[in-house]
C-alpha cells in the first residue's frame, strides 16, 4: 500500500486542502505535505486518523495467497543466479581510462590492401 497516494487521494476526493485536513486531524499542514510527498511515513494509527478526518477509513483485505516455488524451481533459479554472478565477476571492475588497441605494423597494413604511402 502506498500511504502517500492513499492519503492524497482521500483528501482530494473529500475536497480538502492540506491545511484543512491538518486542522481536522490536529496536525500541521507541513506534516500532511511530508506524508503526501512520501518524505515521512505515518504510523498506521496516524494514517487511520488522517483518513477518518477525510471521511474515509482504512480497509485492509487479504491478498491472494502467494505461491511458494517448488524445490526444483528454487534450484533452477539458483543456477541462473550463479551464472549471472559468474558473468558479473568476469566483467572488469572499473572502466579503463583509455581504450587499448594492438599496435599495427605498417607492413601488415600494406599486406591487407592498404595503399602504400
- pLDDT above 90 covers a percentage of the chain that reads 62
8 within domain boundaries: yes
Convert the pLDDT of each residue in 5-26 to its tens digit: 999 999 999 999 999 999 999 9
Q: How many domains does the chain have?
A: 1
* Position 109 pLDDT exceeds 90: no
66 within domain boundaries: no
Q: What are phi and psi of 59, to 5 degrees?
A: -120, 110
Domain that holds residue 32: 3-53
10 within domain boundaries: yes
Convert the pLDDT of each residue in 53-71 to its tens digit: 999 998 888 888 888 899 9
Helix spans in the chain (H): 3-13, 18-25, 29-37, 44-53, 71-90, 106-111
Amino acid at each position: 500500500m502506498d500511504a502517500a497516494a492513499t492519503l492524497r487521494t482521500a483528501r482530494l476526493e473529500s475536497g480538502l486542502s492540506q491545511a484543512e485536513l491538518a486542522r481536522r486531524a490536529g496536525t500541521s499542514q507541513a506534516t500532511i505535505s511530508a506524508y503526501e510527498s512520501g518524505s515521512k511515513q505515518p504510523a498506521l494509527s496516524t494514517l487511520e486518523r488522517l483518513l477518518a478526518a477525510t471521511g474515509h477509513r482504512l480497509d485492509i483485505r487479504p491478498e491472494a495467497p502467494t505461491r511458494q516455488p517448488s524445490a526444483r524451481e528454487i534450484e533452477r533459479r539458483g543456477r541462473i543466479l550463479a551464472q549471472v554472478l559468474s558473468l558479473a565477476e568476469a566483467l572488469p571492475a572499473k572502466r579503463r581510462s583509455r581504450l587499448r588497441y594492438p599496435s599495427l605494423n605498417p607492413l601488415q597494413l600494406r599486406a591487407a590492401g592498404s595503399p602504400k604511402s
